[in-house]
Amino acid sequence: MSQIVTRIAPSPTGYMHIGTARAALFNWLFARHHNGRFLLRIEDTDRSRSTPEATEAIYRGMKWLGMDWDGEAISQFARADRHADVAHQMLANGTAYKCYATKEEIDAFREAAREAGRPPLFLSPWRDSAETPDLPYVIRLKAPRDGETTINDVVQGTVTWKNETLDDMILLRSDGTPTYMLAVVVDDHDMGITHIIRGDDHLTNAARQSQIYTAMGWDIPVFAHIPLVYGPDGKKLSKRHGAMGVEEYQAMGYYPDAVMNYLARLGWSHGDDEFFTMKQAIDWFRLEDVVKSPARFDFKKLENLSGQHIRAADNETLLAKLEEFLSATGQTDLTDAQKRLMFAGMDGMKERAKTFPELLEMAHFILGTRPFVPDEKAAKLLDTVSRGMLNRLTSRLRGVSWTHDILEAEIRAFAETEEIGLGKVAQPLRAALTGRTISPSVFDMMVLLGKDESIARLEDASV
């Protein structure tokens, strides 16, 4: 087979819908698996919505998720002349015709059809007319009236429409602008798209689009209409279920590869594998493994996967992604000193974080500054008794060498002297060092912070 070419063709709406990201992902995986090309087309013909900002939101979403596309993104609007040319070619080859019917005539025709119990399809009297009055006209497809139109969809199987249920769609409006249906087909043809993978809400469009391909004598691409994403309650995913825009997921601090991993699992599977990298997904992806039943979005699963990806990431990448998160959410950049400490302490921190905000919370002992005002839970741990105990511990620690092993031995010995468990020392100690009740191991933190800073924090807390 010749090279595989896929595309994602989002309409700019101001944000990138999570369902669009999933359709893009399937196209991207399929193209990359076959060493093909994956293209991006912005369907910006609706001029009121197609602002540069709305297009930027799509680029940002794609980049954040790590989906690279080949070549420059294509603007559908910029190709309007080519679309019109094709409509005129169809006129010339007799597969389309000029229709001069007015809106009132069309409405009256439909009304009469409805009253007679026929489907309200407009059958233009101009279809076979040789007259060319000097009046405004649209160009309509001369669609087949008899027989059937069939799509052999990779996911949906064979789907058939009776041609009598499909009307002569408009290709070019009376102002000379192309309709969506024409633009999509011309663009997909010119871009050499071999496989169209998209939401199953476009299935009927595929039937209509295949009629345009046939009229032009063009090869029809392979169609794969994937099930849409549904909410946990089985209803179509909407705002009510939670975030819809890719950037909202970014703002919530999910690890981007985890979002990709999760979206891939919505409707596609490779055996029992739940956690995988995008490299693995590219190796494994086959359209045949996409299921027909709708996928349900499960935020808990996404969160768990995010935690797994954070743990599996190498510390350098993780730090870079964290910095990306800070900048995308308008937070202060890390200083070089903070970065050094974050890097050194990453192993201990990433174990317990499922999202970037949780990772930042774990890093509070690095990112916060003295004095560490304890939060409510930490404050409870720092009662008078504990503060007295920390005072005695601090005196003892002043004289020791500052290594993990020595600190651990000293603190254990101290707990024995005090006749309390290690936890009874470690918890207030953590509260004093961080102002929190959750953090990496106290020994790790003390080593990372160094002796002076650790002692200073203990002194702050014991006054």
- Active site positions, annotated: 239
CB of 179 to ligand GLU, least distance (A): 13
Q: Measure CA 250 to chain center.
A: 9
Longest CA–CA span in the chain (Å) reads 107
Nearer to ligand GLU, 10 or 61 (CB): 10
Kindly state the helix (H) or strand (E) to which residue 453 belongs, with its residue range. Answer: helix 451-462
Q: How far apart are CA 435 and CA 382, in angstroms?
A: 10
CB of 10 to ligand GLU, least distance (A): 5
> Bridge-partner residues for 41, per DSSP?
74
Query: Phi/psi at 235 (nearest 5 deg)?
Result: -95, 155
Q: How far apart are CA 345 and CA 245, in angstroms?
A: 33
CB of 231 to ligand GLU, least distance (A): 19
Which residue lies nearest ligand GLU, judged by its C-beta?
198
Nearer to ligand GLU, 184 or 381 (CB): 184
b/e for 125-146, b at 16 or more Cβ within 10 A? ebeeeeeeeeeebbbbbbbeee
CB of 138 to ligand GLU, least distance (A): 22
Nearer to ligand GLU, 199 or 231 (CB): 199
Nearer to ligand GLU, 67 or 334 (CB): 67
CB of 130 to ligand GLU, least distance (A): 35
The one-character DSSP state at 48 is: T
Query: Phi/psi at 85 (nearest 5 deg)?
Result: -55, -45
Q: Which of 384, 339, 327, 382 is nearest to 363 (CA)?
A: 339
Q: What is the β-pairing status of strands 5-8 and 37-42?
A: parallel
From the CA atom positions of the chain, what is the Rg in Å?
A: 31
- DSSP string of 304-357? HHHHHHHHHS-HHHHHHHHHHHHHHTTPPPPPHHHHHHHHHHHHHHHTT-SSHH
* Amino acid letter, 100: Y
CB of 202 to ligand GLU, least distance (A): 5
CB of 281 to ligand GLU, least distance (A): 21
In this structure, the number of other CB atoms found within 10 A of the CB of residue 267 comes to: 21
Q: How far apart are CA 247 and CA 17, in angstroms?
A: 9
Nearer to ligand GLU, 227 or 374 (CB): 227
Please, are residues 286 and 264 in contact by the beta-carbon 8 Å criterion?
Answer: no
Nearer to ligand GLU, 140 or 198 (CB): 198
Q: Is 192 helix (H, G, I), strand (E, B) or coil?
A: coil
Residue ranges binding ligand GLU (CB under 6 A): 9-11, 43, 184, 198, 202
Nearer to ligand GLU, 10 or 345 (CB): 10
CB of 308 to ligand GLU, least distance (A): 31
Nearer to ligand GLU, 41 or 350 (CB): 41
Kindly state the helix (H) or strand (E) to which residue 442 belongs, with its residue range. Answer: helix 442-449
Q: How far apart are CA 313 and CA 430, in angstroms?
A: 26
